[in-house]
């Protein structure tokens, strides 16, 4: 391949990576903002998060168009082509993380704290763990750093444990506060969304690892975490 073609490919893939980093930053901020809106029962802030998701969706479309153009014009081979397809997939996952922030924001009107739903205070802590994973995996992606990717995967167990603990806390809360069951049910879904954000960060970490090393990180279970408790 001629030198100028390699350079052009590198420029394009650099642009692709830049778009994904931008998407990731927006998704991470949206999750954090959803927690603030939730705690403050701030409906306007929630609406801004919902509206803002369109920007993330638009960036994914841009990644897709650029990837198609890149494939059509540069005809990348083997590893390069695999990298473009990986970027497409990672953009898809980041878009889904943005969707989780939107979904959380849509539950803000359904949860009116007024200080009496104690388990609500656990969600921002869980969100921080999940957004840290998103932040770290985007760093790993930018630096093509497989060790950092492994580290992200290791964090996922803590998020899963946190989720299981919140599930149990919320079920107990529901038993003791039947009038708040509907609100607590929405909080269950929010906790589940955050758990899935951790899973998606793990999925991206596995893609980053594969792209950097050519090897699979090893089978990891990132399906739905299902706490089993007594009836």
Kindly list the residues in this chain that would bind its own copies in the complex (CB under 8 A): 64, 67-68, 71-72, 75, 77-78, 81-82, 85, 88-89, 92, 99, 102-103, 106-107, 109-110, 112, 167, 170-171, 174-175, 178-183, 185-186, 188-189, 192, 223-224, 226-231
Element (H, E) at 47: helix 43-74
Nearer Cβ to its own copies (139/169): 169
The span from the CA of 113 to the CA of 98, in Å, is 24
- Secondary structure letter of residue 134 according to DSSP: H
Task: Tell me how far, at minimum, the Cβ of 56 lies from its own copies, in Å.
Answer: 12
Residue 98 or 136 having the CB closest to its own copies: 98
State the minimum distance, in angstroms, from the CB of residue 179 to its own copies: 6
Distance between CA atoms of 140 and 151, rounded to whole angstroms? 10
For 78: left if phi > 0, alpha if psi spans -120 to 50, otherwise beta; the answer is left
Residues 6+ apart with CB under 8 A from 147: none
Burial 142-165 (b: 16+ CB within 10 A, else e): eeebbebbbebbebbeebbebbbe
DSSP string, 11-42: HHHHHHHHHHHHHHHHHHHHHHHHHHHHHHT-
- Minimum separation from the CB atom of position 177 to its own copies (A): 10
Least Cβ distance, residue 66 to its own copies (angstroms): 12
CB of 175 to its own copies, least distance (A): 5
If the CB atoms of residues 148 and 200 are measured against its own copies, the closer one turns out to be 200
Q: For helices 181-213 and 78-107, give the axis angle rounded to 10 degrees.
A: 170
Closest CB to its own copies among residues 152, 190: 190
Indicate the residue among 99 and 136 with the shorter CB distance to its own copies: 99
Cβ-based nearer residue to its own copies, 74 or 148: 74
CB of 112 to its own copies, least distance (A): 7
């Amino acid at each position: 391949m001629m030198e100028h073609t390699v350079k052009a490919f590198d420029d394009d893939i650099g642009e692709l990576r830049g778009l994904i980093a931008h998407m990731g930053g927006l998704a991470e901020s949206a999750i954090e903002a959803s927690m603030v809106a939730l705690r403050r029962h701030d409906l306007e802030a929630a609406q801004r998060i919902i509206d803002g998701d369109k920007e993330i969706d638009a960036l994914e479309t841009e990644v897709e168009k650029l990837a198609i153009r890149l494939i059509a014009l540069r005809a990348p081979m083997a590893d390069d082509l695999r990298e473009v397809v990986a970027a497409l997939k990672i953009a898809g996952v980041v878009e889904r993380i943005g969707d989780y922030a939107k979904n959380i924001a849509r539950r803000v009107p359904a949860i009116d704290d007024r200080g009496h739903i104690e388990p609500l205070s656990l969600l921002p802590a869980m969100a921080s763990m999940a957004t840290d994973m998103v932040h770290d995996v985007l760093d790993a992606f930018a630096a093509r750093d497989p060790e950092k990717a492994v580290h992200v995967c290791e964090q996922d167990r803590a998020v899963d444990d946190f989720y299981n603990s919140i599930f149990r806390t919320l079920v107990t809360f529901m038993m003791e506060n039947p009038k708040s069951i509907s609100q607590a049910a929405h909080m269950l879904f929010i906790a589940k969304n955050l758990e899935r954000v951790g899973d998606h960060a793990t999925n991206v970490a596995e893609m980053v690892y594969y792209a950097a090393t050519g090897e699979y990180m090893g089978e990891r279970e990132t399906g739905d975490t299902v706490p089993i408790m007594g009836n």
